[in-house]
Amino acid sequence: MDRNQTHRNRKRALKTLHFIALFATMSVICIPGLWIVLNSFRPTVEIMAKPPIWTPTFTLDHYRAMFSGAGEGGVPVFSYFRNSLIVSVVSTAIAILIGMSGGYAFARYRFKGKAGYFVGLMLFRAVPGVALSLPLFIVFAKVGIIDTHFGLILVYVALNVPFTIWLTDGFFRQIPKELHEAAEIDGCTRWQAFWKVEFPVARSGVASAAIFAFLTSWNEFALASQLTRSVGSKTMPVGLLDFTAEFTINWGGMCALAVLMIVPALILTFIVQKHLIAGLTFGGVKG
């Protein structure tokens, strides 16, 4: 009896510890986001108040100001949103197409220097993006694609392709080669076998690669802040800088714009998440 009791107590204690650890981790992840959302709805006085005010006042002033004219603290939200959307969607689509082809090639074909190429691609990921900003700036300025959607798309495609290759390679590797062989015997060309069989089976992998690529482009700040200047090409993260003046920072406005930035990303992740789970039901071949 006694031993059972101590065993049960220990189990309970472990479970409690488990929850505390989980809670702490989630707090670290979630509190900054929560802080942003809450502050976007609070008057600036309250945000800056010391000691902090614990019972917040609800206000939509920051949102109202953001969407109003240039003289009243407004920023061109719609332009920034459109720029972000164009750049992120196009660069993600291109990166997925290229990355998926690359990942498939690495997973399926044997060619000379395969391992070397793969390591090389991964090394590209190791280079911090900011380190590239100055060379890119100079090259882009010379070529004349600075401050354009095209330039930014090009950069994001280059950033995302290695990771996409790495991720999709893993997914295609999990698909037995007999699937495309069966499809080819069933009358498909190699191309059809890919699109009718292997792609649908790997779509969960492609979807997760797409989310990562999209979020990278959507959230990227360092390079975009160097390579874009005008309302016509600035993305939302760069737009956040509009709220900093020489001596002051409009925290409330910045938080409001940040919320607008987070919402589409959240929605997208939420939609694709279902695909991620649905796509993972393998079982056509004996595991």
Shortest gap between Cβ of 264 and other proteins (angstroms)?
29
Q: Does 174 bind other proteins (CB under 8 A)?
A: no
Q: CA–CA separation, 163 vs 124, rounded Å? A: 9
CA 56 distance to own-chain centroid: 31
Span near other proteins by CB under 8 A; candidates 96-104, 126-134, 177-185, 245-253: 177-185
Kindly state whether residue 25 participates in binding other proteins, applying the rule CB under 8 A: no
3-class secondary structure, 244: strand
Among residues 32, 33, 120, 200, which is the contact residue for other proteins, using CB under 8 A?
200
SS3 content of the chain, % helix, strand, coil (to 5): 75, 0, 25
For residues 45 and 285, which CB has a smaller minimum distance to other proteins in the complex? 285
Write down the least CB distance from residue 117 to other proteins, Å.
20
Paired strand residues for 249: 244
Q: Take residue 199 and report the two structure tokens written for it.
A: 């792609």
Q: Binding residue for other proteins (CB under 8 A) from 36, 47, 197, 257? A: 197
Applying CB under 8 A, what is the total number of residues that bind other proteins?
A: 24
What residues numbered 262-281 form the site for other proteins, per CB under 8 A? 281
Handedness of CA 15, 16, 20, 26 (dihedral sign): positive
* Six-digit token string for 182: 């069966």
- Residue 95 tokens read as 């990166």
Name the one range near other proteins by CB under 8 A: 125-133, 158-166, 181-189, 242-250.
Answer: 181-189
- Residue 188 has phi, psi (to 5 degrees) of -85, 150
Bridge partners (DSSP) of residue 244 are 249
The residue among 57 and 189 lying less far from other proteins, judged by its C-beta, is: 189
Binding site for other proteins (CB under 8 A): 176, 178-179, 181-190, 192, 196-197, 200-201, 281-286
